[in-house]
Amino acid sequence: MTTALLDDRQVRRIAFGNRLSHWDFKLSPYLYVSPFFILFALTGLFPILYTAYVSVYDWHIIGGQGDFVGLGNFEWVLGQEKFWLALRNSFSIFLLSAIPQVIFALIIAAVLSDNLRAKTFWRMGVLVPYVVAPVAVALIFSNMFGDQYGLINNLLGRIGLDPVGWHSQVVPSHLAIATMVNFRWTGYNALIFLAAMQAIPRDYYEAAMLDGATKLRQFFSITIPSLRPTLIFVIITSTIGGLQIFDEPRMYDQSGQGGASAQWLTITMFIYNQGFGQTGGGQFGHAAAAAWLLFIIIIVVGLINLAATRAIASAGTRNGK
């Protein structure tokens, strides 16, 4: 009788242990990734949903929540000339910064991928601009691109060219701000490309060298096609970051209003001015509506970028066959 009870307990213990192992096998992966999603829900998803809630109310920084206005805040934002100027400026600065940034990052990564002397030094060196505070970068470049006493106009004058209105004109101001963005982010993206290049099998290059392919041919025929997933990642993240640019244009002059004619006012600056600006600020409902419009624009542009990049990659694969 006693032996039968011991055997029964042992069987139950083994069965319970098997169930624990089964649950551990099934649930462990979800438990490992759950902290990220919990944190994202608190710091990312909740603010998005709460901003949507604020955007349909007449909400002021002092008076708090007011009457329900539905889509009234969105209509107000879309009727503002400054919103459309900010949208134009954001896209202009994004295109002037993102395209050269990806091209130069690819070139730098290709150079760093070769057998250079002191390669660790050079690889760490390209990351230095990324660790510099954005405010410091903006202050330095703002002085360099000064309209009257800036270094760039001084150099242009020495070679007989007229000075450029880096602050007073639209396109030059966008070029100056895009230069700041490229200075900070090109090295960072170059290291991402470099890491992807290091994963490309060396056999491909050795076979290409035996066939007499030049370095340039190897770059376009082996390196670029192998970097398609990384290129998609960098382009998507550059799109999100480029349309949310704030630090550089905000610090481009002392007032932080995006210029006298809003020539470099961006969407994020427009949102900030609506919420916390010195003149006309405190309108959280307007700021929340503009933030949601920016959120929708980023999703649409990101999906277009993703579709275009995949189409180009698919075309390249078919041509490669």
pTM to 2 decimal places: 0.80
Question: For residue 4, is pLDDT > 70?
Answer: no
Q: Are residues 61 and 153 in the same domain?
A: no
Q: What is the pLDDT of residues 247-302, one digit of tens each?
A: 888 888 878 788 888 888 999 999 998 888 876 678 899 999 999 999 999 889 88
Say if residue 316's pLDDT is above 80.
Answer: no
State whether the Cα torsion 16-22-27-31 is positive or negative.
Answer: positive
Q: Do 99 and 191 share a domain, yes or no?
A: yes
Domain count, the chain: 2
pLDDT above 90: percentage of residues in the chain: 26
Residue 2 lies in a domain: no
Residue 264 covered by a domain: yes
What is the structure's pLDDT at 53? Answer: 93
pLDDT for the residue numbered 124: 84
Q: How far apart are CA 57 and CA 281, in angstroms?
A: 16
Predicted confidence (pLDDT) at residue 317 exceeds the cutoff of 70: no
pLDDT at 232: 83
Looking at 30, 50, 72, the residue that finishes a domain is 72
Q: Are residues 143 and 289 in the same domain?
A: yes
What are the distances in angstroms from CA 6 to CA 11, 146, 154, 200, 248? Answer: 9, 88, 93, 59, 74
Q: Does residue 279 share a domain with residue 136?
A: yes
pLDDT of residue 51: 92
- Quote the CA–CA distance of 269 and 272 in Å, as a whole number: 5
Please check whether residue 157 lies inside any domain of the structure. Answer: yes
Which pLDDT band, with edges at 50, 70 and 90, does 136 fall under? Answer: confident
Do 120 and 239 sit in the same domain of this protein?
A: yes
> Whole-angstrom Cα distance, residue 268 to residue 290?
9
- Residue 201's domain spans which residues? 82-319
* pLDDT above 90 (res 50): yes
What average pLDDT does range 69-84 have in this prediction?
92
Q: What is the rounded CA–CA span in Å between residue 236 and residue 60?
A: 34
Are residues 101 and 53 part of one domain?
no
Q: For residue 74, name the pLDDT band (cuts at 50, 70, 90).
A: very high
Q: For the chain, what is the mean pLDDT?
A: 85
Average pLDDT value for residue range 15-22: 75
In a shared domain, residues 111 and 248:
yes
pLDDT in tens, 20-49: 777 777 788 888 888 888 998 888 889 999
Check residue 192 and give its pLDDT.
Answer: 92
For residue 76, pLDDT beyond 90: yes
Q: What is the pLDDT of residues 190-248, one digit of tens each?
A: 999 999 998 888 888 888 888 888 888 888 888 888 888 888 888 888 888 888 888 88
CA distance 188 to 132: 12
Domain CATH for 96: 1.10.3720.10
47 shares its domain with 126: no
| In a domain? residue 13 | no
Average pLDDT over residues 148-155: 88
67 and 91 part of one domain:
no
Beta bridge partners of 212: none
* Distance of alpha carbon 208 from alpha carbon 200, whole angstroms: 13
